[in-house]
Amino acid sequence: MENLLNKFEQELRLRNYSRKTILAYTGALRQYFQYKKTGLEQPDVENIKAYLLHVLDSGKSSRTANIALHSIQYFYRHIMSTSCAVNLRLAKTHQRLPVVLSRSDIARIIDSVENTKHRTMIALAYGAGLRISEVVSLRVADIDCEQLTIYLKHAKGDKDRVSIIPASLCDKLRAFSHGKTAQEFFFPSQFGGKMTERSLQAVFKRSLLRADIIKPATFHSLRHSFATHLLENGTDIRYVQALLGHSNIRTTQRYTQVTNLALKNIKSPL
């Protein structure tokens, strides 16, 4: 089993999948192997169906089941080169609306953070629509306050993109970059080097408590809020798509479900 898993992981690495994707796919395949136990080299469609039902019946989400199916299909197609196709349909996933924070929520969150570096990181994530991985990976050379632009390199899907910087943050950003070389991390950890995503998530979680916000928000809600507020301001959805780095406009269109200004202006008869 370990030999097959190693081959699988190496193939994903050669195809330049992200570390998170490799961990997710390899972990999912390992769990299937532990369920099947024997005859791992050959696909067994009925056994795979039973396993996917087992995943769903154990309370796991349809997304988890779909990751399992993707990993199994990839293994038999690209590692074992089997002629027996695993033609199974993905489980239907529940389309949840993004958790969006109001402008006043954002202001309260930022004001609740005492540490200047952490406060700036949260403000920049909202003001530029960044993922948490992008914030901790920023280098000094990536931020251009003169042009009010930020360059995101090797972002999700190994894509580069450009986003905007709020002018109100430039003085703080210049202060953070002072004395650093171009390739140093913009927001290093207290021990030097790259700050972990877990640490920044913990900072954000504490800020929610201090700001007395009960919405089920995560750090990614800052990015959701950036997109939603731009659309509410009348920004063309194509520009929002480019700033977020979405390949498909349909991914960006989900924000229109929480930005229908005409709907918000309707008053309840009660």
Give 132-170 pLDDT, tens digit per residue: 999 999 999 999 999 999 999 877 767 889 999 999 999
pLDDT of residue 83: 66
Residue 192's pLDDT band (boundaries 50, 70, 90)? confident
pLDDT of residue 187: 93
Choose the final residue of a domain: 20, 47, 79. 79
For the chain, what is the mean pLDDT?
88
Per-residue pLDDT, averaged over 173-189, amounts to 91
Whether residue 237 sits in one domain with residue 117: yes
Per-residue pLDDT, averaged over 227-253, amounts to 89
Whether residue 65 sits in one domain with residue 184: no
In a domain, 197, yes or no: yes
Whether residue 39 sits in one domain with residue 134: no
CATH number of the domain enclosing 18: 1.10.150.130
Distances in Å between the Cα of 131 and the Cα atoms of 12, 140, 160, 193, 221 are 23, 17, 13, 19, 9
pLDDT of residue 252: 83
pLDDT of residue 230: 92
pLDDT tops 80 at residue 85: no
Distances in Å between the Cα of 181 and the Cα atoms of 83, 102, 117, 150, 173 are 53, 36, 18, 17, 14
Domains identified in the chain, total number: 2
Whether residue 110 sits in one domain with residue 75: no
Per-residue pLDDT, averaged over 114-122, amounts to 95
Looking at beta carbons, which pairs linking 159-163 to residues 24 or more positions away fall under 8 Å? 159/245, 159/247, 161/242, 161/243, 161/245, 163/128, 163/129, 163/130, 163/243
pLDDT tops 80 at residue 267: no
pLDDT of residue 84: 65
Q: Is the pTM of this model over 0.85?
A: no
Over residues 11-55, the pLDDT tens digits come to 999 888 888 889 999 999 999 999 998 888 888 888 988 998 898
pLDDT tops 80 at residue 98: yes
Type of residue at 61: S
For 166, the domain range is 103-264
Q: Which residues participate in catalysis according to the annotation?
A: 131, 156, 220, 223, 246, 255
In a domain, 269, yes or no: no
Whether residue 132 sits in one domain with residue 260: yes
Over residues 45-77, the pLDDT tens digits come to 889 889 988 988 888 888 888 899 999 999 998
Report the greatest alpha carbon distance in the chain.
66
pLDDT tops 90 at residue 190: no
Pair of tokens at residue 134 = 């992008």
In a domain, 94, yes or no: no
Whether residue 142 sits in one domain with residue 47: no
Per-residue pLDDT, averaged over 187-205, amounts to 92
Beta-bridge partners for 71 = none
Type of residue at 58: S
